[in-house]
Amino acid sequence: MRRLLPQGARAPADGTLGAIGFGAHGLSRVDRRSWPAEQVAAIEAFVQAWWQGALTTPEPPYGIDEIFDTCATIARTVTPFLEGRVPGPVADAHLAHCADVWLYDLLSDDSPFSWWYDDTVDAGVTDLRAWLSGPGAARLHAADEYELATRAELLGLPHDERWDHHP
């Protein structure tokens, strides 16, 4: 995987993976934390740059929720991608889209991640739920996405109580 890294990083960023997809990216399947520190740092920098670039692009080459899913799966965490959201109408529209996709699964206590299979996925889902029900909901309110914000706030309630409050 390390020998393929330049091509493996460029292809998802520029959209040239085409029909073969990018979800179960090889970087999500390797123990890259055991690699030399500069290589680990380069991967983390790439994933963060890919995410930040996608947030400012009105129509990235892949769906924004799929890019988030892939970045989180490679990093094995959601935190830097949630905390690193950029301000602006394009990023807000991307957040609204992602929230709509995520809430379908999260409100039913399912994982919204298609390609994240290792033992860190539960922590990722927990972190996503906490962010979306708090700071994410506040950001959705600020972007005039009231219905999504209200649904996101429901994630803070126990499962059975959510349905009593569902809009």
- DSSP string for residues in 29-49: TS-GGGS-HHHHHHHHHHHHH
* pLDDT at position 111: 92
Name which of 105, 110, 50 is nearest 74 in CA terms: 50
Q: Where are the domains of the chain?
A: 5-165
Q: How far apart are CA 15 and CA 46, in angstroms?
A: 15
Place of tokens 């409050």: 165
Phi-psi region of 35 (alpha: psi -120 to 50; beta: other; left: phi over 0): beta
**What six digits make up the tokens of 124?**
């990722």
Q: Give the pLDDT of residue 19.
A: 46
Q: What is the dihedral of CA 158, 164, 165, 167, to 10 degrees?
A: 130
Residues of the chain with pLDDT under 50: 1, 19-21
pLDDT at 24: 56
